[in-house]
Amino acid sequence: MYLYVEKESFLHTFHPVVKILMLITGFIIAIIFNAPSYLLFFILLTILMIIYAGGITNVYRMRVILILLFLFSTILWAFFIKEGKTIIKFGFATVTDKSLLYGIGMGLRLNLMVLSGLLFFSITMIEEFSFGLHKIGLPYPFCFALSMAFRLVPLFLQEGATVVEAQTLRGLDLTKGNIFTKIKNHFPLIVPIFITTIKKMDNLFLALESKGFKPYKNRTFYLDKSLKSIDYLSTVILMFIIILCIVLRISGHGIVLDRL
């Protein structure tokens, strides 16, 4: 249910703060460039890192989302940008060479962001994520709420699978009919899924209250990592990459159109 992959890789040993900086770097690079060639290079680099970290199965699980993001972004941007030489015309809608390249770049940008997130969650436990955010300086209540939100997603999916199996055993057929019939058949599942999920979350809140949980008190962590020399070196390298990408963008490299 979680994306974290248990593996003894070099990327897994990084401090949580460095891992968060890696995630931010991936997002920044995706925003800086809009040329497909530059974005494709960083996508391939990210995929290689994911393969090394053992998280290629996460990419396979998200393959449909990656493909749809790329296709929809490419098609929409290609028709809405009017700059460049016209190559295709459908009545009032036109596609130019620059609009097509820009659309492809926007699709690759979204894919790079998703892949950066997959890399991050493949090498980072939720506890590490919360610990890293707190070390950066964010208040503990925010870190705790965010970690609970990540735990809620697999809980919600697990409860949904249980309810689907229970209703299927009672004779509910979710496979027959067209797409609208299937959507209609899924409506009866919404109420029991939400009720069971809310009950489990209520039990969790009661457990926290019974243990005297107070988020605004000074916190100690079972997971306590210190920055090592490799973490400092990695931070310097990531900052250098960000600065280099900004300089390239200012110099006019890696762009199809001079816009974000």
145 and 199 inside one domain: yes
Asked if residue 197 has pLDDT above 90, the reply is no
pLDDT attached to residue 182: 74
Instruction: Provide the 3-class DSSP secondary structure of residue 96.
Output: strand
Is residue 5 situated within a structural domain? Answer: no
**Same domain assignment for residues 15 and 119:** yes
pLDDT at 204 over 90: no
Tokens 């393959």 sit at which residue?
A: 63
The residue ranges of DSSP E strands in 101-150, in sequence order, are none
Is the predicted pLDDT of residue 103 greater than 70, yes or no? yes
Q: Is residue 233 located within the same domain as residue 105?
A: yes
Strands of the chain (E only): list them: 86-90, 93-96
**2, part of any domain:** no
pLDDT reported for residue 1? 57
Least confident of 44-48, 223-227, 250-254: 223-227
Q: Is residue 193 part of a domain?
A: yes
User: Do 159 and 94 reside in the same domain of the chain?
Assistant: no
Asked, for residue 29, whether it belongs to a domain, the answer is: yes
Shared domain for 206 and 232, answered yes or no, is: no
Are residues 99 and 15 located together in one domain of the fold?
Answer: yes
Lowest mean pLDDT among 23-27, 34-38, 206-210, 231-235: 206-210
- pLDDT band at 226; cut points 50, 70, 90: confident
Residue 42 lies inside a defined structural domain of this protein: yes
- Domain holding 114, by residue range, is 11-124+228-250
- In a domain, residue 164? The reply is yes
Q: Do both 113 and 25 map to the same domain?
A: yes
Does residue 87 sit in helix, strand or coil?
strand
pLDDT level of residue 187 (50, 70, 90 thresholds) = confident
User: What number of other Cβ atoms are within 10 A of residue 216's Cβ?
Assistant: 8
Q: Where does residue 34 rank: exposed (0-12), middle (13-18), buried (19+ CB within 10 A)?
A: buried
Domain count, the chain: 2
Which of 61-65, 87-91, 172-176, 218-222 has the highest mean predicted lDDT (pLDDT)? Answer: 61-65
Same domain flag for 49 and 162: no
State the Cα–Cα distance between residues 53 and 12, nearest whole angstrom.
7
pTM for this prediction: 0.81
Q: In this structure, are 180 and 238 located in the same domain?
A: no
Looking at the fold, whether 113 and 172 belong to one and the same domain comes out as no
* Whether residue 242 has pLDDT greater than 80: yes
Q: What is the mean pLDDT of the chain?
A: 85
pLDDT category at 40 given cuts 50, 70, 90 is very high
| 202 and 243 inside one domain | no
Residue 255 lies in a domain: no
